[in-house]
């Protein structure tokens, strides 16, 4: 899909350039970077800055460090193009995962804009700059909220934006459609999952110190590539109904066919005088058994003392439903063990597949951001995470039994972020 989109993008750009005088074309290059040292104090729980990055325990210089570059190509008064590449500690290291933006934009008037290509999802307050550490307050965007956002931070498609001044404020409406493929790793295996027929709507309104944003999206959960999941589904379908009546319905629950994912979020920012307050709430509804429905939220408060802003915040991510219990197989008398034992083992594996992705955690942080110069900021932050039993889906575990117990983890971060 990306290759076809790239070819279409180049063809359209070529048609535009052929109708533009050479002296009208202007190129601007910019970049951003974060060099971060962080330490997680639980050796059994690997921490990652977001859902698509590697999870690491102990000290690391890579899990929160980022290098990004962007080129803005202005073709004329109505046409421009943007491409952005972000290098970070992805679990899946294919180039496609590092290409964040690559779109062509047409502005028929001051109020309208149409983009096509690889676009940001625009579902969150930080959608336009989630990796530009200079631009936001924290060492990283709130873990419980933006870890999920990273899995769908961009998509391939088109969007239409309308902007207008309303009651002394600024209103922006956006409607988008497309598809995306999220590339992760699961137990060391590559995990690709397609999200098809993606539709999103967002509305934001800014007035003086306030910014409000609402967004909603819906997508079909499409095909996937994960050998262990395919084998699990095949094993369910191979079990005779007479031995385990629930096996066929479980196979359907683990399969993505016919499943959808819906999401809605609301965010608010207050930035006035020395105070900076920001909060977002998101709720997801998933029909796929291994992608639980969640409630995610955070509140952050900062206060400026000259060039230094001190801040603190709380975040939550909670599974909205009880963890599914896979029914224990009940066999008629006289069935030999060589038949019943593999089915019992299958039930245990299926239960693990349900429990591993569940997220139920709370955290509190405290930190400071120092504006060292017009292009450089330095941040220090401490996070305390309270991970509930069967709730560590954003972490990797060195011991399988860790899924059943709670954890309290502290993460210490020191970073320098710059723009250039």
**What does pTM read for this prediction?**
0.89
Residue 38 has pLDDT above 90, yes or no: yes
pLDDT, residue 95, reads 77
Across 150-164, 224-238, 306-320, the highest mean pLDDT is recorded for 306-320
- DSSP letter assigned to residue 48: -
Both ends of the chain: CA-CA distance in Å?
A: 32
In this predicted model, what pLDDT tens digit does every residue of 100-157 receive, in sequence order?
999 999 999 999 999 999 999 999 999 999 999 999 999 999 999 999 888 778 999 9
pLDDT in tens, 232-266: 899 999 998 888 888 899 899 889 889 999 999 99
Higher per-residue pLDDT: 275 or 185: 275
Provide mean pLDDT across the span 262-291. Answer: 95
C-alpha atoms less than 13 angstroms from C-alpha of 178 in its C-beta half-sphere: 26
Band the pLDDT of 14: cuts 50, 70, 90.
low
- Which phi and psi (to 5°) does residue 340 adopt? -75, -35
**Mean pLDDT score, 60-66:** 95
Q: Which stretch of DSSP H or E encloses residue 74?
A: strand 66-74
- Based on its alpha-carbon atoms, the radius of gyration of the chain, rounded to whole angstroms, reads 23
* Band (96; pLDDT cuts 50, 70, 90): confident
Which pLDDT does position 20 carry in this prediction? 54
SS3 255: coil
When pLDDT is averaged across residues 265-285 and rounded to a whole number, the result is 97
What whole-number distance in Å separates Cα of residue 218 and Cα of residue 204?
A: 19
**CATH number belonging to domain 39-62+108-419:** 2.40.160
**Distance from C-alpha of 312 to C-alpha of 359, rounded to nearest angstrom:** 22
Over residues 25-42, the mean pLDDT reads 94
Are 47 and 71 contacting, i.e. CB atoms less than 8 angstroms apart?
no
- Pick the range with the lowest mean pLDDT from 24-28, 55-59, 194-198, 362-366: 24-28
In the predicted model, is pLDDT for residue 7 greater than 50? no
- Closest Cα to residue 228, out of 273, 184, 196, 174? 184
Closest CA to 103 of 74, 83, 73: 83
Name residues whose C-beta falls within 8 Å of residue 40's C-beta, 6 or more positions apart in sequence. Answer: 46, 47, 56, 57, 58, 60, 409, 410, 411
CA–CA separation, 124 and 6 (whole Å): 26
Is the Cβ–Cβ distance between 152 and 195 less than 8 Å? yes
What are the Cα distances from residue 53, in Å, to 22, 66, 183, 394? 41, 11, 10, 10
Instruction: Say how many C-beta atoms besides its own lie within 10 A of residue 413's C-beta.
Output: 22
What does the pLDDT read at residue 377?
98
Q: Which two tokens stand for residue 81?
A: 């193009």
Q: What is the mean pLDDT of the chain?
A: 90
Q: Using one digit for the tens of pLDDT, what is the confidence trace for 369-404?
A: 999 999 999 999 999 999 999 899 899 888 777 788
CA torsion angle 129 135 140 145 (round to 10): -50
Tokens of 328: 């224990």
**251 touches 240 (CB < 8 A):** no
Percentage of residues in the chain having pLDDT higher than 90: 64
pLDDT of 367 higher than 90: yes
Confidence of residue 9 (pLDDT cuts 50, 70, 90): low
Q: What share of the chain in percent tops pLDDT 70?
A: 93
């Amino acid at each position: 899909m990306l290759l076809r989109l790239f070819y279409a993008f180049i063809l359209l750009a070529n048609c535009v350039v052929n109708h533009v005088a050479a002296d009208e074309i202007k190129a601007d290059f910019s970049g951003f970077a974060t060099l971060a040292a962080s330490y997680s104090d639980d050796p059994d729980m690997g921490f990652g800055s977001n859902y698509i990055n590697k999870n690491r325990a102990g000290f690391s210089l890579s899990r929160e460090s980022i290098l990004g570059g962007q080129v803005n190509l202005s073709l004329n008064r109505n046409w421009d193009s943007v491409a952005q590449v972000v290098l970070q500690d992805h679990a899946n290291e294919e180039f496609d995962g590092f290409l964040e933006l690559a779109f062509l934009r047409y502005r028929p008037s001051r109020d309208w804009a149409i983009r096509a290509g690889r676009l940001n999802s625009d579902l969150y307050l930080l959608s336009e700059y989630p990796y530009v550490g200079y631009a936001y307050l924290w060492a990283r965007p709130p873990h419980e909220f933006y870890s999920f956002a990273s899995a769908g931070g961009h998509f391939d498609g088109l969007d239409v934006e309308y902007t207008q001044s309303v009651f002394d404020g600024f209103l922006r409406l956006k409607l988008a459609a497309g598809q995306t493929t999220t590339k992760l790793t699961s137990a060391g295996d590559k995990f690709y999952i397609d999200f098809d027929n993606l539709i999103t709507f967002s509305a934001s309104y800014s007035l003086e110190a306030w910014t409000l944003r609402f967004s909603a999206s819906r997508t079909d959960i499409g095909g996937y590539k994960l050998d262990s999941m395919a084998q699990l589904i095949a094993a369910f379908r191979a079990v005779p109904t007479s031995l385990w009546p629930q096996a066929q319905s479980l196979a359907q629950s683990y399969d993505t066919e016919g499943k959808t994912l819906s999401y809605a979020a609301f965010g608010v920012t207050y930035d006035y005088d020395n105070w900076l307050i920001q909060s977002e709430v998101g709720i997801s509804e998933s029909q796929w058994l291994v992608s639980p429905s969640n409630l995610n939220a955070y509140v952050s408060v900062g206060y400026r003392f000259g060039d230094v802003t001190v801040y603190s915040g709380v975040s939550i991510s909670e599974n909205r439903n009880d963890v599914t219990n896979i029914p224990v197989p009940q066999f008629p008398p006289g069935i030999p063990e060589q038949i019943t034992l593999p089915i019992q083992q299958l039930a245990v594996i299926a239960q693990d597949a349900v429990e591993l992705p569940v997220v139920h955690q709370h955290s509190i942080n405290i930190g400071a951001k120092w504006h060292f110069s017009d292009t450089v900021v330095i941040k220090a932050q401490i996070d305390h995470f309270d991970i509930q039993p069967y709730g560590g889906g954003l972490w990797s575990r060195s011991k399988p039994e860790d899924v059943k117990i709670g954890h309290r983890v502290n993460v210490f971060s020191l970073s320098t972020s710059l723009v250039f």
